[in-house]
A and B are shown apart, each in its own frame.
Chain A
Amino acid sequence: MSRARDFLVSAATLLVGRGRPTLPERERIIPDKPGRPGWELVAVALFALGALAAIAFPVVYGLAEDIPHETQFLGLSVGLAFVLIGAGLVVTGKHLIVTEEIEEDYPAQEHPEEQELLVQVVEESGSRLTRKRLFLLSLGGAGAALGAALVTPVVSLGPVFRVAPLLGTPWRRGRRLVDENGRPWKASDIDEQTFYTAFPEGADKEDLGASVVLVRLPQSRFRLPPALAHYPAEGIVAYSKICTHAGCAISLYRTPMFDPTDPKPALVCPCHYSTFDPADGGSVLFGPAGRKLPMLPLQVDGSGTLRAAGNFDEAIGPSWWGVRIWKPNPPS
């Protein structure tokens, strides 16, 4: 029994005792200042709480199926574990460890002797060369040539000097306009006051040249330039859905609720609020777009289905250096 008691006592002493081993006499580097022992307990408590929070993490992880707000509890446990242990370390740094404010010289601004030595070494290294400039020129030329050779494979990354892909669209004369699920749009489906998205039948919908917005306007609103006068069919107009400014999809249609005061109908891109006028061929009403919205000529076939009567009057999508601002062409 007494041995067990001795063991317990010594274990307790080792655990909580604040006795320090006596050091042999030597000059201290870090000055010895008395601290406040309370902070030691604060740090220990923070570490213990941090450990508890950390232990909670695998527990929550294991129970994840059974508890709601799994992500919140996981974040709380691991986050608190980090914060508490971190706070314990900050307490350690601020209160337990002696903070010395030491003075020290900044490093030398420069080393003239070494500089001189370096210059001399480099200069003397080429003393055998008689045509120094020629030598350096050939070495530099060789390096540049090798660099150019190594950069060449970059060209494989994509098409080079070929902007044709930027201009192509899947629209052809006679191509039917279909909705997202491939059903053809009939002219009678298109109502005023709202807009519809259409694609060329059978084409890749992701192609920037594919999607168009359809809008029906009352005849009284139209102010199309003569060259575009025949683009609408039965009061329906089609414009590329891709904004000519930054390539986002135009997904807002502003329609006046009360004609005399409200602004006129407009197609708006939600990215930077480029605003286009569907009544006059897609000109820019407001916003940063520098080029009008490309217009698609339409026709209605015998069954009432909407078909393209040609290609767009402008290049689709965002502009680039050298893109032609197309003059409207007749659709035939």
Chain B
Amino acid sequence: MGRPDLEAEPALVIRKTVRFLDQRTGDAPLLRKLLRYLFPDHWSFLLGEVALYSFITLVLTGTYLALFYNDSTKQITYHGPYAPLRGQRMSEAYHSVLDISTSVRAGLLIRQTHHWAADVFVAAILLHLLRVFFTGAYRKPRELTYVLGLAMLMISLLEGYLGYSLADDLLSGMGLAIGYAVAVSLPLIGANLAELIWNGPFPGTDAFFSRMYIAHVFLIPGLIGMLLVAHLGLVALKHHTQFKSEPRQTERKLVGVPTFPGQTPRSLGLFLVTAGVLFLLGGLAQINPIWLWGPYHTYLSTNGAQPDWYLGWLIGGLRLVPSFDLTIGHYTLVPNPFWGGALFPLVVFGFLLFWPQLERRFITHDYGYHNLLDRPRDAPLRTAIGLGVFIWVALVFVAGGVDRVTVMFDVDYVTMIWIFRVAIWVVPVLVGLIAYRVCVELQQGEEAKRVRKRAEHRAKALAETTDIA
């Protein structure tokens, strides 16, 4: 053969590269560790990865959009290619997003992909959170990882809200008005805080849009990026948790596939498939057609306005709260939007944040280390309470969209709201009780099976001995 060098010293290029890098950076020991880091194999561990890959897609598509976006609220008249809006007064911000959608080649694809990626990003984080919660993955020593993840979820909601507010279409403006109302409703500081953020009373000034813009494209993504590094760093330092799917997996022994070669092509593949699906959605499934909504003015609104799915629970919260302000004499103290728009998410995130301590203190009294994951049935009380809270939030989320049911099926809106006002307190309790029962039954079923097997085994052994006898 004509390639004797290959035979004498196999994989010469690889060897040369490895040597070059090690001599200049001393990376070989570190890389050796990294390449042999173990990933336990379970599909549910991929949810966090999907969130990560959506985030990368968001940064890339968002960078492209930023090259065309204009954050000015100066009012101009539209003369562009979209005929129905010609002659309308609109902000330069809305105009630039219209241009991205109609005039920039591939602009609409990138914009819609960005929007889909945001929706998938938050969905993946939420599913990842549910997996972590119901398997007890947040337990010692991984409480910090969990808290960082929660922080990222909270910031991501704000990031998404800012993103679709920047378009300055009719729905964005209505969303901002609601955000403003929630901000001014905060006890004591509300009015001042809102005036600081908006640079005056709603709708604020030009400065407000440049603030949203810098927050959306730099401050918050930067923060998410830093939290992400810390989150993944902590995961790596303490290694992954694992389900006990085979006997050799214990609290001390981790069984998994190494980063290289096993995990790398799979993760890379998942990244590409995630990005691909997002681009397919961005190209084929219309999302937020802002040219249909038209420009925002404070005196305009539209029926059937819905936010992106991840803010639906807040709309539901705002809609379900009955007419009630905290007042003293002729003065309002805490206005209504505070209950559904601020207190409700605060309670939900507070529950998630303090749950690990609450569980340890009042339920399990378990201060030990845990590398093995629970199945939901292994911790019936956690499963019951977690499911109850989840159903509570999910019902409020659904209540945020019942006006669509009124429009489509002509069911009375007021009746439905009253049903939900009751159901959100009754159904979670019922679901929690049923979940608890199911978990206990499953546990007992397993125990019964174990006992039976043991008895059969013994009976068989006994039969054999009597045979011999």
> A residues bordering B, Cβ < 8 Å?
10, 21-24, 30, 61, 64, 70-76, 78-90, 92-94, 97-107, 109, 154-155, 157-163, 165-166, 197, 199, 205-208, 210-211, 241-242, 245-252, 269-274, 284, 286-291, 317-327
Size of interface on B: residues with Cβ below 8 Å to A: 112
Number of A-B residue pairs with CB-CB distance less than 8 Å in the complex they form: 323
Q: Is residue B303 within 8 Å, beta carbon to beta carbon, of the partner chain?
A: yes
State the Cβ distance, B12 to closest chain A Cβ, in Å. Answer: 11
Is B202 in contact with A247, judged by CB distance below 8 angstroms?
yes
State the CA gap A5–B184 with chains docked (Å). 83
Q: Is residue B429 within 8 Å, beta carbon to beta carbon, of the partner chain?
A: no
State the Cβ distance, A238 to closest chain B Cβ, in Å. Answer: 13
Query: Across the two chains, which residue of chain A brings its CB closest to B325?
Result: A290
Is A205 in contact with B336, judged by CB distance below 8 angstroms?
no
Q: List 22 A-B contacts (CB under 8 A).
A: A21-B7, A71-B109, A75-B282, A86-B270, A86-B276, A87-B273, A94-B266, A97-B262, A157-B197, A165-B195, A166-B191, A208-B203, A245-B181, A247-B178, A249-B300, A271-B301, A286-B414, A287-B319, A318-B335, A320-B185, A321-B189, A325-B332
State the CA gap A58–B212 with chains docked (Å). 34
Q: Which residues of B contact A90 (CB under 8 A)?
A: 265-266, 269-270, 273
* CB contact between B319 and one of A89, A160, A272 (< 8 Å): that residue: A272
State the CA gap A104–B194 with chains docked (Å). 53
Q: Which residues of B contact A320 (CB under 8 A)?
A: 184-185, 190-191, 194, 332, 335
Is B280 in contact with A80, judged by CB distance below 8 angstroms?
yes
Is B257 in contact with A100, judged by CB distance below 8 angstroms?
yes
Is B36 in contact with A246, judged by CB distance below 8 angstroms?
no
Is A97 in contact with B181, judged by CB distance below 8 angstroms?
no
Query: Across the two chains, which residue of chain B brings its CB closest to A83?
Result: B276
Is A165 in contact with B200, judged by CB distance below 8 angstroms?
yes
Is A206 in contact with B327, judged by CB distance below 8 angstroms?
no
Query: Across the two chains, which residue of chain A brings its CB closest to B299?
Result: A211
Is A289 in contact with B323, judged by CB distance below 8 angstroms?
yes
Q: Is residue B55 within 8 Å, beta carbon to beta carbon, of the partner chain?
A: no
Q: Which residues of B contact A103 (CB under 8 A)?
A: 248, 253-255
Q: Which residues of B contact A89 (CB under 8 A)?
A: 265-266, 268-269, 272
State the CA gap A332–B184 with chains docked (Å). 31
State the Cβ distance, A83 to closest chain B Cβ, in Å. Answer: 3
With A76-B284, A103-B248, A158-B197: A319-B272 Cβ-Cβ less than 8 Å: no
State the CA gap A79–B110 with chains docked (Å). 11
State the CA gap A72–B255 with chains docked (Å). 44
* CB contact between A270 and one of B271, B304, B323, B336 (< 8 Å): that residue: B304
State the CA gap A220–B28 with chains docked (Å). 89
State the Cβ distance, A322 to closest chain B Cβ, in Å. Answer: 6
Greatest chain B CB density within 10 A among A79, A163, A211 is at: A79
Greatest chain A CB density within 10 A among B238, B282, B321, B335 is at: B335
What does the 1/0 interface line of B203-214 toward A look like (CB < 8 Å)? 100010001000
> B residues bordering A, Cβ < 8 Å?
2-3, 6-7, 10, 36, 38, 41, 105-106, 108-109, 112-113, 141, 174, 177-178, 180-182, 184-192, 194-203, 207, 211, 237-239, 248, 251-258, 261-266, 268-284, 297-305, 315, 318-325, 327, 330-337, 340-341, 369, 371, 403, 413-414, 417
Query: Across the two chains, which residue of chain B brings its CB closest to A89?
Result: B269
Is A208 in contact with B284, judged by CB distance below 8 angstroms?
no
* CB contact between B237 and one of A73, A107, A287 (< 8 Å): that residue: A107
Is B200 in contact with A158, judged by CB distance below 8 angstroms?
yes
Q: Which residues of B contact A324 (CB under 8 A)?
A: 330-332
Is B276 in contact with A82, judged by CB distance below 8 angstroms?
yes
State the CA gap A106–B2 with chains docked (Å). 48
Is A64 in contact with B254, judged by CB distance below 8 angstroms?
no
Is B298 in contact with A249, judged by CB distance below 8 angstroms?
yes
State the Cβ distance, B290 to closest chain A Cβ, in Å. Answer: 14
Query: Across the two chains, which residue of chain B brings its CB closest to A90?
Result: B269
Q: Which residues of B contact A289 (CB under 8 A)?
A: 323, 336
Q: Which residues of A contact B333 (CB under 8 A)?
A: 321-322
Q: Which residues of B contact A245 (CB under 8 A)?
A: 181, 318, 336-337
Q: Which residues of B contact A71 (CB under 8 A)?
A: 106, 108-109, 112, 283
Is A83 in contact with B280, judged by CB distance below 8 angstroms?
yes
Q: Which residues of B contact A163 (CB under 8 A)?
A: 191-192, 195
* CB contact between A100 and one of B184, B258, B301 (< 8 Å): that residue: B258
Q: Which residues of A contact B275 (CB under 8 A)?
A: 82, 86
Is A82 in contact with B38, judged by CB distance below 8 angstroms?
no
Is A287 in contact with B332, judged by CB distance below 8 angstroms?
no
Is A272 in contact with B332, judged by CB distance below 8 angstroms?
no
Q: Which residues of B contact A87 (CB under 8 A)?
A: 269, 273
State the Cβ distance, B181 to closest chain A Cβ, in Å. Answer: 4
Is A270 in contact with B301, judged by CB distance below 8 angstroms?
yes
Is A106 in contact with B279, judged by CB distance below 8 angstroms?
no
State the CA gap A203–B118 with chains docked (Å). 39
State the CA gap A250–B177 with chains docked (Å). 12
State the Cβ distance, A7 to closest chain B Cβ, in Å. Answer: 12
Is A210 in contact with B265, judged by CB distance below 8 angstroms?
no
State the Cβ distance, A167 to closest chain B Cβ, in Å. Answer: 9
Is B185 in contact with A288, judged by CB distance below 8 angstroms?
no
Is B252 in contact with A105, judged by CB distance below 8 angstroms?
yes
Q: Which residues of B contact A322 (CB under 8 A)?
A: 191, 331-333
Q: Which residues of B contact A30 (CB under 8 A)?
A: 261
State the Cβ distance, B394 to closest chain A Cβ, in Å. Answer: 19
State the CA gap A162–B188 with chains docked (Å). 13
Is B272 in contact with A318, judged by CB distance below 8 angstroms?
no
